[in-house]
């Protein structure tokens, strides 16, 4: 069964104007990582892996305490993404910019 490994996340540009961001990751709609306090330029190791049959969906959300959480983007990973090389997923919605590096193997 193919495996999608989430390796690390980097914040290039925060979503929040004040204070640090608190991004979290959903895989197929279920929270798997975070929210984790994150400053601009910061990198977190994730190192979680998920098996899938046909596709999995990776969504990045930014947690807000007094407001609705912000949707920063999503990507669908399929068997077509199987590669020996790491791939960079870019999340750029709501004025933010994050990257999540993944490795998809068979
Ligand atoms: Ca926010
Ligand atoms: Ca926030």
The pLDDT of 67-86, averaged and rounded, is 97
Task: Report pLDDT digits (tens) over 8-44.
Answer: 999 999 999 999 999 999 999 999 999 999 999 999 9
Rounded CA-CA distance 23/20 in Å is: 10
In this structure, the strands spanning 87-91 and 70-78 are unpaired
Confidence of residue 92 (pLDDT cuts 50, 70, 90): very high
Residues shown for the chain? 106
Does the global pTM surpass 0.85? Answer: yes
Region for 32 from its dihedrals, namely left if φ exceeds 0, alpha if ψ lies in -120 to 50, beta otherwise: alpha
Q: How remote is the CA of residue 76 from the centroid of ligand 2, in Å?
A: 24
Adjacent-strand bridge partners of 71: 61
What percentage of the chain exceeds 90 in pLDDT? 99
Contacts of 83 (CB under 8 A, 6+ apart): 103, 104
pLDDT, position 80: 97
Q: What residue spans define the domains of the chain?
A: 3-105
The CATH code belonging to domain 3-105 is 2.60.40.150
Q: How remote is the CA of residue 46 from the centroid of ligand 2, in Å?
A: 19
Please name which ligand lies nearest the alpha carbon of 71. Answer: 1
Q: How remote is the CA of residue 82 from the centroid of ligand 2, in Å?
A: 33
Rounded CA-CA distance 95/22 in Å is: 15
- Residue appearing with tokens 């330029």: 41
Rounded CA-CA distance 39/57 in Å is: 25
């Amino acid at each position: 069964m193919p495996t999608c490994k989430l390796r690390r996340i980097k914040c290039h540009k925060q979503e929040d104007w004040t204070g640090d961001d608190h991004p979290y990751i959903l895989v197929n709609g279920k929270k798997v990582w975070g929210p984790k306090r994150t400053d601009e330029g910061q990198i977190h190791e994730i190192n979680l892996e998920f098996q899938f049959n046909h596709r999995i969906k990776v969504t990045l959300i930014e947690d807000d305490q007094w407001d609705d959480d912000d949707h920063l983007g999503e990507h669908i990973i399929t068997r077509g993404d199987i590669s020996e090389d790491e791939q960079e997923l870019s999340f750029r919605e709501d004025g933010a910019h994050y990257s999540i590096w993944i490795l998809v193997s068979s």
